[in-house]
Amino acid sequence: MIDRNFDYHGFGSNKPVKHLQYSGIENEVIVASAHRYPGKARELCITAQEKGFGVVTAAADMAVALPGVVSAYTSLPVI
């Protein structure tokens, strides 16, 4: 059971996963560009597990690179 989700959205993608809120899963949304701020992306992903997150949702409109970047820096499941 996942109790806490970390939503990482690239710039231009500000549509959080609404069904998580309705399911009672704590959800934190971060909107940041992995291309513009790769250090911030790395830090967010490396510290996600120690902050209590159980999964990372990565979305960047129609780009598919963000989930790959996120999964490179965490052992958490990336959706």
Tens of each residue's pLDDT in the chain, 79 residues: 456 666 666 555 445 556 666 667 777 877 777 878 889 889 989 999 999 888 888 877 666 778 888 899 999 998 8
For 22, the enclosing helix (H) or strand (E) is: helix 18-22
Phi, psi of 33 (to 5 degrees): -95, 120
- DSSP conformational letter for 63: B
Residue 74, pLDDT score: 93
Residue 76, pLDDT score: 92
Residue 30, pLDDT score: 79
For the entire predicted model, the pTM comes to 0.70
The count of other CB atoms within 10 Å of the CB of residue 57 is 20
SS3 6: strand
Tokens read off for 33 = 């560009």
